[in-house]
């Protein structure tokens, strides 16, 4: 299982890896951006083998003055390409910043399953921050990743760091889950009966059938009489309905609509 650990410089990525491995495998420093290369480490936990891909963090382009730091940006993005899942580390003291949102956006665009890991929670607790309120704020700012699980840890003390791996295992099972076509169509039928599709250009849109065509992320193709008639809000409703019906909570889902093929349509001969 390949897991990319990404985040802003000094969010504690290497400290988390060191704590999980039980050794000072990566150089740790209070200076942001100390760990400059993407480094792979291997860890066995709970009957699973993890490849942890640590990165130097993604910096604002305007703040990068040296070639080695520019390489760190490319390295972090490539790490996400190589990974099955992503741990997005957020500094509990600093809170969410624009860079965190950029990184989260990259992961979302790539269809990666993400666990948001709020690190340095031991320091945040000293400021009487409440986990529930912090999580609510993160979901509000990262609405496009509102489905992603959030975990609060301290890489320094080791508190709850292995809970993150348990979350990764559970999330990976959902990320690679495949659902039968019959089950998909029953779920779509239930969803449309509970909330009718919209009317577009004077006629009711209809879902004809659907199927899952891909995993990681779970991708569904739905044939409809008028694909353009399914506006964003109804597509979001169907996404949430499928997520709830099949227990895809925490995992990304993609839905694509297409027109029904006309009867008697054949490909032209060469």
pLDDT digits (tens, 9 = 90+) for 197-209: 999 989 999 999 9
Per-residue pLDDT at 25: 55
Place of tokens 């409703």: 237
Average pLDDT over residues 100-114: 91
Neighbours of 116 (CB within 10 A): 23
Summarised one tens digit per residue, pLDDT across range 162-183 is 999 999 999 999 999 999 999 9
Q: Check: CATH 3.30.300.20 for 181-259?
A: yes
Please check whether residue 57 is in contact with residue 72, taking contact to mean a CB–CB distance below 8 angstroms. yes
pLDDT by residue (tens digit) across 137-163?
Answer: 999 999 999 999 999 999 999 999 999
Q: How far apart are CA 166 and CA 46, in angstroms?
A: 8
Task: Using alpha carbons, select from 196, 224, 211 the residue that is nearest to residue 254.
Answer: 211
Question: Could you check whether 2-175 and 181-259 share the same CATH topology?
Answer: no
The count of residues in the chain is: 270
Look at phi and psi of residue 199 and say left if phi exceeds 0, alpha if psi is from -120 to 50, else beta.
beta
φ, ψ of residue 52 in degrees (nearest 5)? -95, 120
- Note the pLDDT of residue 9: 78
11-20, 35-44, 87-96, 185-194, range with the lowest pLDDT: 35-44
Distances (CA, A) of 1 to 41, 173, 215, 251: 12, 11, 15, 16
Through-space distance between the first and last CA atoms of the chain, rounded to whole angstroms: 45
Residue reference for tokens 């420093």 = 29
CA torsion sign for 174, 178, 183, 185 is: positive
Q: Name which residue leads in pLDDT, 95 or 55.
A: 95
Q: 């609405």: which residue's tokens?
A: 143
Q: What are phi and psi of 44, to 5 degrees?
A: -105, 125
Contact 156, 122 (CB under 8 A): yes
Which two three-digit tokens encode residue 135?
Answer: 């999580």
Tens-digit pLDDT profile for residues 18-65: 999 986 554 444 444 444 455 788 999 999 999 999 875 555 555 544
Q: Residue 269: what pLDDT?
A: 42
Model's pTM, two decimal places? 0.85
Q: What is the mean pLDDT of residues 247-263?
A: 90
Residue 100 has pLDDT above 80, yes or no: yes
The CATH H-level (homologous superfamily) assignment of domain 2-175 is: P-loop containing nucleotide triphosphate hydrolases (3.40.50.300)
Percent of the chain, pLDDT > 90? 63
How high is the pLDDT of residue 171? 98
75's enclosing H/E stretch is helix 67-82
In tens, the pLDDT along 198-246 reads 999 899 999 999 999 999 999 999 999 999 999 999 999 999 999 999 9
Mark residue 32 as left, alpha or beta (left: phi above 0; alpha: psi -120 to 50; beta: remaining): beta
> 44 pairs with which residues across the strands?
49
Is the distance from CB of 251 to CB of 218 less than 8 angstroms?
A: yes
Q: Tell me the domain boundaries of the chain.
A: 2-175, 181-259
Report pLDDT for 141: 96
pLDDT of residue 130: 86
Res 64: pLDDT: 47
The pLDDT score that the predictor gives to residue 24 is: 58
Edge-first strand listing for the sheet containing 39-45: 39-45, 48-54, 2-7, 85-91, 113-119, 150-152
């Amino acid at each position: 299982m390949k897991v990319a650990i990404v985040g802003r410089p000094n969010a504690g990525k290497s400290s988390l890896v060191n704590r999980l491995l039980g050794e000072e495998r990566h150089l740790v420093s209070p200076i942001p951006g100390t760990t400059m290369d993407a480094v792979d480490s291997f860890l066995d936990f709970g009957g699973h083998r993890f490849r942890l891909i640590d990165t130097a963090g993604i910096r604002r382009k305007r703040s990068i003055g040296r070639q080695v730091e520019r390489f760190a940006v490319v390295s972090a993005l490539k790490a996400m390409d190589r990974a099955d899942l992503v741990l997005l580390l957020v500094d509990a003291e600093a809170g969410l910043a624009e860079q965190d949102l950029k990184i989260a956006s990259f992961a979302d665009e790539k269809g990666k399953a993400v666990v948001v890991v709020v690190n340095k929670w031991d320091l945040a607790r000293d400021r009487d921050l409440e986990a529930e309120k912090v999580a609510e704020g993160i979901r509000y700012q990262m609405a496009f990743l509102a489905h992603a699980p959030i975990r609060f840890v301290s890489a320094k003390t080791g508190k709850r760091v292995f809970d993150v791996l348990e979350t990764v295992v559970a999330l990976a099972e959902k990320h690679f889950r495949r659902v039968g076509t019959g089950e998909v169509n029953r779920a779509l039928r239930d969803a449309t009966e509970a909330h009718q599709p919209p009317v577009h250009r004077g006629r009711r849109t209809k879902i004809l059938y659907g199927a899952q065509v891909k995993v990681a992320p779970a991708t569904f193709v739905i044939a409809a009489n008028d694909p353009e008639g399914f506006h964003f809000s109804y597509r979001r409703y169907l996404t949430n309905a499928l997520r709830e019906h099949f227990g895809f909570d925490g995992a990304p889902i993609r839905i694509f609509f297409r027109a029904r093929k006309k009867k008697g349509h054949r490909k032209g001969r060469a």
